Amino acid sequence: MASRGDVTRVGEADKFMMQMLSVPNCAARFRCLALQKRFPAARREIGNQVALLEHACDDVRGSPRLKKLLSVILKVGNKLNAGSNEVTAFTLDSLIKLKDAKVC
């Protein structure tokens, strides 16, 4: 029967852990090892999220309804500012309130 301190009878993972305990700053090294293990999956997930964001930006950029809305806002702004030395503009808050406006 092996004694309690017999290192030769432990598994490979346990031997590795025992060796790592003698390494200075082993906790930081364990975190690095864990990061290396998780990194490919995290990179894929972030890549998927970036692709989704790019697709959403393309949808907004190519939206004919948004282009028409901005065109109408520009025309209204130009009419409101016609013949005036003072230029007033729509704010983002006022544009958000447009959703509550009734369309004729």
> What is the chain's length?
104
Rounded-to-integer distance, Cα 22 and Cα 17, Å? 9
Please indicate, yes or no, whether residues 58 and 14 belong to a single structural domain of this protein. Answer: yes
99: three-class secondary structure by DSSP: helix
Please indicate, yes or no, whether residues 49 and 75 belong to a single structural domain of this protein. Answer: no
List, in order, residues 6 or more apart from 10 with CB less than 8 Å away: 18
> Could you give the number of structural domains in the chain?
2
Structural domain boundaries enclosing 73: 63-104
Please indicate, yes or no, whether residues 51 and 83 belong to a single structural domain of this protein. Answer: no
| Whole-number average pLDDT of the chain | 84
Would 4 be classed as within a structural domain? no
Would 1 be classed as within a structural domain? no
Where does the pLDDT of residue 2 fall: very low under 50, low under 70, confident under 90, or very high at 90 and above? very low
Average pLDDT over residues 86-102: 76
Q: SS3 helix, strand, coil % of the chain, rounded to 5?
A: 75, 0, 25
Where does the pLDDT of residue 29 fall: very low under 50, low under 70, confident under 90, or very high at 90 and above? confident
Q: Quick one: pLDDT at residue 79?
A: 83
Q: Are 20 and 26 in contact (CB under 8 A)?
A: yes
Would 3 be classed as within a structural domain? no
